[in-house]
Structure formats: C-alpha cells, structure tokens
Structure 1
Amino acid sequence: MAPTTSDVPPWYKQFWPWFLIGLLFSSIAFSTLYLVMSIKFYDGSVQQDYYKDGLAINEQLAKQEHAQTLSLAASLLVDSRTGDIVVDLEGERRPDQLHLSLIFPTAGGRDRSLVLDHLHGGRYVTVIDEPLRHRWYLQLQPSAGRDAEWRLTGEATFPSEETIDLTPGL
C-alpha cells in the first residue's frame, strides 16, 4: 500500500529540512563570530614591510658582530617592587645614554622603549612605570632606531630577581 499525500506531513514539520537549515545558520553564526574576534583581537605580529626587514638582517648581524669586536656585554637587573632597571655595561664603549627595547613576542602594541642614563663606570639606570610580566626580548643599543652602532640582545621572563645577560649574539 502506497502512502498517500495525507500521510506525509508538510516539509516544515519534518526533521531533516530544519537540521540542514540549522547547519547552514550555525556555520554563518560561527564564521561571523570568528571574523569579529579576529578583527577585535588583531595581534599585529606580522609586519607590513617584512621583506625589507628580512633584507635588513645583515645590518643587524653586523651590529652584533661590532659589539663583539668591542668586547661589549651587559647584565640587566629589574627590581619588580620599585620598577628600577639597572644595566651594568662591560667593554670599551660607555655612551651617555643607552636605549633598551623591550619587545613582546606576540603583541606589538605592548613593546616598550626606555632610555637609561649613565651613573658612573658602566652603570645605567631607569625606572619603569608598571611591572613587567611574561616573556620579553631585550635589545640594548647606544642610540634609538636602526642607526645604532652596536646592539646587545637577550631574552627574559619577568618577574625575575636574577640578572639577565645581554650578549652580542642573535
């Protein structure tokens, strides 16, 4: 016996059309949610001029090699309670100021640039306004920007009571 048209309910009362429509709308909702989140929480980890930065790696290596020929090294100590940053510079050069770049690995908006003033011998100091947390890349140079004569680099996880070594290596 064949079903008659009166035995089959209309399409809007059946399960499968609503299941397929639900899949479609859920994929649209999740796509919109991911789009909004990616715009709102943009991390900016890829630079716009990445090609030029890639070509400039040789200049960075030359700065670090020059620091090595000058026998430069530094130790950095951050006091998490007072915010004091103390750098002891060893080597032939002792500029009046040093520039310390604190680079956050994933969020470019959190990067900081500090100027350290020379006290005596090879000691430089500055104060930071809020305590450092998490992992940071450190770059110490005699002047700000890409025109510096030499560069020392390091990496640290804060808060830390230990001294951090800044060396001419990459």
Structure 2
Amino acid sequence: MQTAASRPWYREPWPWFLIALPLIAVLASVYTIYLASRTPDSLVTDHYYKKGLAVGGDIQRERHAQALHLSGQISIAAGRIDLKLNQQIAPDTLHLMLRHPLSKQKDVQIDLHRGASGTYSAFSPPIEPVRYRVHVETADWRLAGVWIPGTTLTLEPGV
C-alpha cells in the first residue's frame, strides 16, 4: 500500500479559500467605513419648516399656470439656453432652476431674458449630461419638468 505524501497546509488550496472569504468581508467593511467617513452627512435643509410651508405657494403657482394654459419648450444649443413659451404673458425676466439629482452644489440657477422674438435666453454654464429637475418660474406661476441636456423638454405646470 502506498500512502500519498502529505503536503504542508499552506500548499493546499482549501485553507486559502476559507481564509479569503472572511478577509474579503473585512476589507469590504474597512472600505465602507472609509467611504462613510470621507464626507459628512448633509442635512436635507436647515429650514425644513419654512420649506414645508412654501410647498403650498408652489402648488398655487402651478395651478395658476394651469389656469393660464401655459407651457414652454427649453433647449440648449451652442452654450445657450432657449425657452419658448406658448403665450406672451410673462415678464421680461424668468428664473430658471436646474436641480442636479445628486448634489446641491451642482444646481444651476439662471435668469432668462426675453429677446425681440419673444424667446427667453441666456448663456449656459457647463452642464453635466444627467437628468435635471427643471423649474421656470415667476412670482405668479411655475412650470416644471425633467430634462436630460441635449434633448428638448416641454415644460408644463404640475409636474
């Protein structure tokens, strides 16, 4: 009868496999702790009560835009944002807000000015190709939509 020559434990694959599983879990948890501690938690808003009360005002502005049957189309071409409304009832300046989906620091606020043709326009800062929540508003009404740069968006009240 022949006996197989026994090898030392570190030459066998199974002990390394059994050691690797918990080691991977430990490394993943250390990396998760690193990611969690790299940036502090951000508070959604400091003034949550005032923001909550302002929601009612936003709803009233959207209802007013619905009553006016107001809509618009927004597009970016050659570093310029253009907004065309279906009616010429708006003031000379509109406030445009592009809300970034991940970071409040990347939000874009622009004042659009009416040109001779009735189209509102402004120069555009560099904009990432992500889905923005868009608001165009005055003190009386508000239009909204979800927009990916490079496409044309139809703004409507109550979105």
- Preserved CA contact (<8 Å) 2:88 2:118: no
Structure 2 portions without partners, runs of 5+: 1-18
Other-structure match for 2:144:
153
Other-structure match for 2:71:
73
How far the C-alpha of 1:35 sits from its partner, in A, is: 4.3
Tell me the SS of whatever aligns to 1:130.
Answer: coil
Other-structure match for 1:168:
157
| Count of aligned pairs between the two proteins | 140
Rounded Cα–Cα distance in structure 1 between residues aligned with 2:135 and 2:43 = 18
Q: 2:62 aligns with which of 53, 61, 64?
A: 64
Tell me the SS of whatever aligns to 1:114.
Answer: strand
Rounded Cα–Cα distance in structure 1 between residues aligned with 2:144 and 2:118 = 17
Other-structure match for 2:102:
106
Pair 125,137 (structure 1): closer, same or farther in 2 beyond 3 Å? same
How far the C-alpha of 1:68 sits from its partner, in A, is: 1.6
Tell me the SS of whatever aligns to 2:69.
Answer: coil
TM-score (normalised: structure 2): 0.72
- What percentage of aligned pairs have identical amino acids? 28
Structure 1 portions without partners, runs of 5+: 1-18, 143-147
- Preserved CA contact (<8 Å) 1:70 1:92: no
Quote the RMSD (CA, aligned, Å).
2.9
Matches within 5 A, 1:108-147: 108-142=104-138
TM-score (normalised: structure 1): 0.68
Rounded Cα–Cα distance in structure 2 between residues aligned with 1:76 and 1:89 = 9
